[in-house]
Amino acid sequence: MTSLHLTDRLGGLAFGGDYNPEQWDEPVWKEDDELMRRARVNLATVGVFSWALLEPEEGRYDFAWLDTHVDRLHANGVAVDLATPTASPPPWFTLAHPDALTVRPDGTRLTHGSRDTYCLTAPAYRNASRRIAGALAERYGDHPALALWHVHNEYATLCYCDHTAAAFRVWLRDRHGSLDALNEAWGTAFWSQRYGSWEQVLPPRATNWHKNPGQQLDFHRFWSDEVIAAYREQRETIRAHSDRPVTTNLMLPAYQNMDLWALARELDVVSSDQYPSAPGLDAAADAAFHADRARSLGGGRPWLLMEQGTNTVYDRDRVLAKEPGDVLRHTLGHIARGSEGALFFQWRQSRAGAETWHSGMVPHAGSDSRIFREVTQTGEAVARLGELAGSTVTGSVAVLHDADAWWALGVDGLPSAGLDYHAALGRAHRALWDAGVTVDFAHPGHDLGRYPLVVAPALFLLSDEAAENLRRYVAGGGTLLVQHASGYVDDRLHARLGGYPAPPLREALGIRVEEYRPLRRDERLTLSDGSHGTVWSESVRADGAQTLAAYTHGMLADRPALTRHRFGTGQGWYLSTLLDDTAYAALVARLLGEAGVGPEVQGLPRRVEAVTRHAPDGRRWRFLISHRTEPVPLPEPAHDLLTGGPVSELPPGGCVVLRIA
C-alpha cells in the first residue's frame, strides 16, 4: 500500500505542471528554479514523453539527465510526479516492431512520427512498457522527491490489428462462453453473419455498410478491459519497487474509450485533464462538469487535476484564449469540487515541436507577461488552501453515467444521429450547475438512495439489473427524471419488446413508449405548455402517469410529451423529446423544488458558483466564484483564506474561499 497521501508529502495542495526540461538547456533550468519558487510550484510531472532519451537503444538506459533534474527539483522544494513514457514509444522500438504500430479500422498501419502510435495488445509493446516502467521504478522508487507515479498518458488509442483480433477472441470466449452464445448476442442470424469458428470473428474493421452493433459494443468493452490490464501491469511493476501512489491521467469529460468506473477503481488517486471547447462561462461550466465527473468516478474521494491550459480552449480547428482571471477561476472551480490541487500542461511553452502553440505557465513571452502573473497569483492562492487537504464534496443530485449506454449510442444503424450521449450528460449537468446545485455522477446500478433527485439523460442501453435498481429507487421515495430514448435496449443491444423502456422502468414511470419518431434536423415541435422539442419525439401511452405537457400537432397531437407518475413513495418523470434550453431549465427547477433540493447557497445571483468542501472533523469551506461583472455582496462577512482576512463582498470576476461554521 502507499506510504503517504500526496498532500501530506507536499505539505498542502499541489500546484505545478508537466515539466519537460529536456526541451531546454542549463540557463533556462536555472530560471525555471527561480520562477517555480515565485509561482509556488510544488509538484512537477516529469518524463511523460521521454522514452527515447531514457532508453536510447533497446535495454540501454540513460538516467543521468533525469537524475540531474529530479535532484534539482528536489533541492528546489518541488516534488516529482514521475511518468512512465509509454504513450510515446521511441523510433528504435517501432522500427524493430512494426507489428506494434497502430492499425486503423480500414487496415492502414500508421507510421512513426507523432505520439500514441502503438498497439496496446502487441506483446512487444506490452513487454517494452513493463521493462521501462520497472527500470524507472527501480531507480526512482524511493527517491525523496517522488510523490506520485503517472502511468502512461491519456490511454485512448484504439487498434484493429491481428494481435488485437487474437486478444478480442480470447475476451469474447470468456464473456460469451460459446460461439452459439456470441451468435445469439450479436444477432448474427441476420445478414448471413453467423460465425462457424472463433477464427472467423474479427474486430469491427471497415466494412461495406453497418457494422454489427453487438460486435462494436463488445469491442469497446474488450478494449476497456485491455487498457485496465495494461495499466495494472505497469502499476504492479512499479509497486514492486515503490510505495508511492500510482495514477494514470484520464481525459474527461468527453474522450475515453473505456469504462471509467472500472478504471477509476484501479487508481490510488483519480487524476484527469481538462481542456474546454468553448471560452467564457462555458469554459467554467465545462471545468465543473469535468471536476464533478472526476470526483464521482473515485466515489467522492479527493482527486487531482493533472492538466489544464493557462490559455487553451480547443475550438475544433483553432486554439482560443481564456479570459483574464480564468486561470484562478478555473483552478478554484476544480479545487472547490474536490481536486487536491491544480497542475497544468506544461510549465514552459515549447519553443519547437508538435505542441509549440499549446499554452504554458511560462509563455513564449517569458515571465514578464499577464499569463505568468496570473499563474503566480494562482500559485499563491493554492498555497493558502493547505488546510483543505483531504476534505471532500458531496453532491445533492445525481446524473447517471454508464459506459455501456455511451457506447450503445455510438454503434451503427441507430434511428437518429441526434442522440448525443455526451451532449445529453453535459446539458443535464449544465442545467443543475446554472441552478447552483452541486452534482454527483452515479452509475445506474449504484445505490442512489441518498439522492432526493436523479437525472437519467441518455440511458438508451439499460440492463435488467439497472432498470430494477431505478424502479426500487423511485418506489423508495426518489424523484427520477428519465429522458427520451431511454431503456430501449438491454445489455446485449437487443431491443426491448412490448414497448420501451425496460419493464421495471415502465412501471416506475407509468408510461409505455409505443413508437419512436425522430425529428428532421431543423424540425421543432410545439408542446401544449408553449415549450419546444427537437431531435426526437415518441408516441407515449400514459399507464398511470399524469400528462404535464402534450404534443400539439400531427399524429402525436394530445399524446404525452412530459409525464409524472407517483410510484411507491417516489415520483417517476418522463420527458420524451429534447426540450429547448429555457424549458429544460424550468423543468429542472421544478424537479429540484419538488425533491426539496435548494441551491448550495440561497439568494446568490446566477453566474456565481458556490461549492462546499467538508473535512471529516466537521470543518467546512465555501468557495464562491463569480462570473459577473459587478460586485456581489455576501450575506454576512466571513474569513477568506485567499486574502487572510474578512470579506463582505465578492468582486467582479473574483473568488473567495470562506471558512464557515
- Considering just the CA atoms, what is the radius of gyration of the chain in Å? 26
CB 295, min distance to ligand GLA, A? 19
- Please say if 307 is a catalytic residue: yes
Amino acid of residue 645: G
Residue 286 binding ligand GLA, by CB under 6 A: no
Distance CA 30, CA 220 (A): 46
CB 283, min distance to ligand GLA, A? 15
| Whether 461 contacts 493, CB under 8 Å | yes
CB-CB neighbours of 492 under 10 Å: 17
Amino acid of residue 286: D
Q: Which is nearer to ligand GLA, 82 or 437 (CB)?
A: 82
- Cross-strand pairs, 249: 271
| Whether 151 contacts 234, CB under 8 Å | yes
| Whether 406 contacts 421, CB under 8 Å | yes
CB 52, min distance to ligand GLA, A? 15
Q: Which is nearer to ligand GLA, 20 or 188 (CB)?
A: 20
Q: Which is nearer to ligand GLA, 355 or 515 (CB)?
A: 355
Q: Which is nearer to ligand GLA, 95 or 278 (CB)?
A: 278
x/- string (CB under 6 A) for ligand GLA, residues 305-324? --x-----------------
| Whether 506 contacts 467, CB under 8 Å | no
CB 346, min distance to ligand GLA, A? 7
Contacting residue, 186, 345, 406, 451, with ligand GLA by CB under 6 A: 345
CB 305, min distance to ligand GLA, A? 11
Place of cell 462561462: 281
Instruction: Output the CA torsion sign for 557, 558, 559, 560.
Output: positive
x/- string (CB under 6 A) for ligand GLA, residues 107-146? ----------------------------------------
* C-alpha 345 chain-centroid distance: 17
- Please say if 515 is a catalytic residue: no
Q: Which is nearer to ligand GLA, 286 or 307 (CB)?
A: 307
Q: Quick one: angle between helices 26-39 and 64-75, nearest 10?
A: 30
Q: Give me 631's grid cell.
A: 460586485
CB-CB neighbours of 522 under 10 Å: 6
CB 399, min distance to ligand GLA, A? 24
Distance CA 612, CA 45 (A): 28
Question: What is the maximum span of the chain, computed from C-alpha positions, in angstroms?
Answer: 75
Place of cell 487498434: 159
CB 153, min distance to ligand GLA, A? 5
Residue 358 binding ligand GLA, by CB under 6 A: yes
Residue 344 binding ligand GLA, by CB under 6 A: no
Q: Which is nearer to ligand GLA, 86 or 153 (CB)?
A: 153
Q: Which residue is nearest to ligand GLA (CB)?
A: 273
Residue 355 binding ligand GLA, by CB under 6 A: yes
Q: Which is nearer to ligand GLA, 48 or 389 (CB)?
A: 48
CB 146, min distance to ligand GLA, A? 20
Cα–Cα nearest to 561, from 595, 504, 632, 511:
511
Which 238-267 positions form the footprint of ligand GLA (CB under 6 A)?
251
Instruction: Classify residue 442 as exposed, middle or buried by CB count within 10 Å of its CB (0-12, 13-18, 19+).
Output: buried
| Whether 645 contacts 661, CB under 8 Å | no
Amino acid of residue 479: T
Q: Which is nearer to ligand GLA, 273 or 640 (CB)?
A: 273
Cα–Cα nearest to 399, from 513, 480, 304, 467:
480
Cα–Cα nearest to 489, from 258, 179, 216:
216
Q: What is the dihedral of CA 545, 408, 440, 566, to 10 degrees?
A: 10
Contacting residue, 32, 55, 81, 154, with ligand GLA by CB under 6 A: 154
- Count of positions on this chain that bind ligand GLA (CB under 6 A): 8
Q: Which is nearer to ligand GLA, 294 or 405 (CB)?
A: 294
Q: Give me 84's grid cell.
A: 512512465
Q: Which is nearer to ligand GLA, 258 or 540 (CB)?
A: 258
CB 251, min distance to ligand GLA, A? 6
CB 254, min distance to ligand GLA, A? 12
x/- string (CB under 6 A) for ligand GLA, residues 532-571? ----------------------------------------
Residue 5 binding ligand GLA, by CB under 6 A: no
DSSP per-residue string spanning 489-543: B-TT-PBPTTSBS-HHHHHHHTEEEEEE-PPPTT--EEBTTS-EEES--EEEEES
Residue 153 binding ligand GLA, by CB under 6 A: yes
Which 412-441 positions form the footprint of ligand GLA (CB under 6 A)?
none
Distance CA 484, CA 256 (A): 24
| Whether 104 contacts 161, CB under 8 Å | no
Q: Between the CA of residue 278 and those of 46, 283, 284, 286, 579, what are the distances in Å?
A: 29, 6, 9, 8, 22
| Whether 235 contacts 246, CB under 8 Å | yes
Q: Give me 214's grid cell.
A: 453487438
CB 125, min distance to ligand GLA, A? 19
x/- string (CB under 6 A) for ligand GLA, residues 288-307? -------------------x
CB 14, min distance to ligand GLA, A? 17
Name the catalytic one among 55, 226, 307, 600: 307
Q: Which is nearer to ligand GLA, 316 or 521 (CB)?
A: 316
Which 65-84 positions form the footprint of ligand GLA (CB under 6 A)?
none
Contacting residue, 273, 292, 402, 538, with ligand GLA by CB under 6 A: 273
Q: Which is nearer to ligand GLA, 250 or 424 (CB)?
A: 250
Q: Three-state DSSP class for 190?
A: coil
Distance CA 124, CA 126 (A): 6
Name the catalytic one among 55, 154, 468, 609: 154
Write out the residues near ligand GLA by the rule CB under 6 A.
153-154, 251, 273, 307, 345, 355, 358
Cite the active site residues. 154, 307
